[in-house]
Structure 1
Amino acid sequence: MDSRIGYDTDFLAWTEEQARLLREAARERINTPIDWENVAEEIESMGRSELRAVESALVRVIEHLLKLEHSPAVEPRGGWRWSVREQRDQANDALDDSPSLRGKLDLGKAYRRGRDYAIDGLEQDRIAVELALTDCPYTLDQILDPYWWPVNRHDLS
């Protein structure tokens, strides 16, 4: 039985496995004019790009969830909600394609960036907000859940 990971099952895991297999083939000195190490590196790079894309989507989701939670402004709440929906969809689609991405996400880094963007954006709107410099107040499941929204601290929906 072939236990290799399928390209269509988990893209990230597939890229990691293919890079490993290419490096093994290179060590066996197969006599073909292939630049094994750079081909393996390029395949791994595709997986890293997927990871960066998901982390970027998480940063935007966190930024706008924080704005929705902390801002007393009525507008542009609709734009923030739309952005959250769009970025959640992108992140969830990528995680469906590569389930192993979930275990590689750095939620702390995504929170720090999203928090900083939220603070900057709110300050541009002349809204002073202090956001904790500690851990992300949302779980990954909440961030990705299309039906979950934080409660606004100013009784806005």
Structure 2
Amino acid sequence: MDSRIGYDTDYLAWTEEQARLLREASRERINTPIDWENVAEEIESMGRSELRAVESALVRVIEHLLKLEHSPAADPRGNWRRTVREQRDQAIDGLEDSPSLRGKIDLTKAYRRGRDYAAEGLEQDRLPVDLMPADCPYSLEQLLDTGWWPTNRHGLA
């Protein structure tokens, strides 16, 4: 039975496996003019790009969930919800393409960035940044759950 990781089942794991196999082949001293190390690095880089895309989508989800939770403003709540839905879909799609990404997500970094972006937006409402928790109050499951929304602290929907 072939136990290799499939390109179509987990793209990130496939890129990592292919890079490893290329490096092994380069140690065999196959007499071809291929720049094995840089080819392996480029393949790994493609996998890292997938991770950055998922983390970037999560940053936007966090930013807008924080605004929805903490802002007393009635508008632009609809735009924030739409952004959350769009970015959730992007993150979910990336994780479906590469399930192994889930274990590599740096939620602390994503939250720090999302919180910083939310703080800029909430300054318009004259809300101090310290109203938002220092550590991420959302689990990865909540961030990806298309039916989950935080409760607004001002009673808005």
Shorter-chain TM-score bucket reads over 0.9
Supply the distance in 1 between the matched residues of 2:150 and 2:41 (Cα, whole angstroms). 40
The one-letter code of the counterpart of 2:144 is: L
Supply the distance in 1 between the matched residues of 2:125 and 2:66 (Cα, whole angstroms). 16
1:127 Cα deviation after fit: 2.8
Does the CA contact (< 8 Å) of 1:67 and 1:118 recur in 2?
A: yes
Does the CA contact (< 8 Å) of 1:71 and 1:127 recur in 2?
A: no
Supply the distance in 2 between the matched residues of 1:150 and 1:82 (Cα, whole angstroms). 15
Tell me how large the CA RMSD over aligned residues is.
0.7
Residue 29 (structure 1) aligns with: 29
Deviations 1:50-78 (A, max 9, x none): 00000000000000000000000000000
5+ residue gaps, structure 1, are: none
Supply the distance in 2 between the matched residues of 1:65 and 1:116 (Cα, whole angstroms). 13
Residue 87 (structure 1) aligns with: 87
Does the CA contact (< 8 Å) of 1:92 and 1:144 recur in 2?
A: yes
Does the CA contact (< 8 Å) of 2:64 and 2:83 recur in 1?
A: yes
Residue 139 (structure 2) aligns with: 139
Residue 102 (structure 1) aligns with: 102
The one-letter code of the counterpart of 1:99 is: P
Does the CA contact (< 8 Å) of 1:72 and 1:156 recur in 2?
A: yes
Identity level (%): 80
Moved over 3 A (4+): none
Supply the distance in 1 between the matched residues of 2:80 and 2:142 (Cα, whole angstroms). 16
**Residue 15 (str. 1) matches residue 15 (str. 2):** yes
Supply the distance in 2 between the matched residues of 1:7 and 1:92 (Cα, whole angstroms). 18
Supply the distance in 2 between the matched residues of 1:127 and 1:87 (Cα, whole angstroms). 26
Matches within 5 A, 1:55-74: 55-74=55-74
Structure 1 length-normalised TM: 0.97
1:132 Cα deviation after fit: 2.0
Does the CA contact (< 8 Å) of 2:12 and 2:47 recur in 1?
A: yes
Deviations 1:3-40 (A, max 9, x none): 10000000000000000000000000011111000000
Structure 2 length-normalised TM: 0.97
Deviations 1:111-132 (A, max 9, x none): 0110111011111x23313212
Supply the distance in 1 between the matched residues of 2:105 and 2:155 (Cα, whole angstroms). 32
Matches within 5 A, 1:41-52: 41-52=41-52
**Residue 156 (str. 1) matches residue 156 (str. 2):** yes
5+ residue gaps, structure 2, are: none
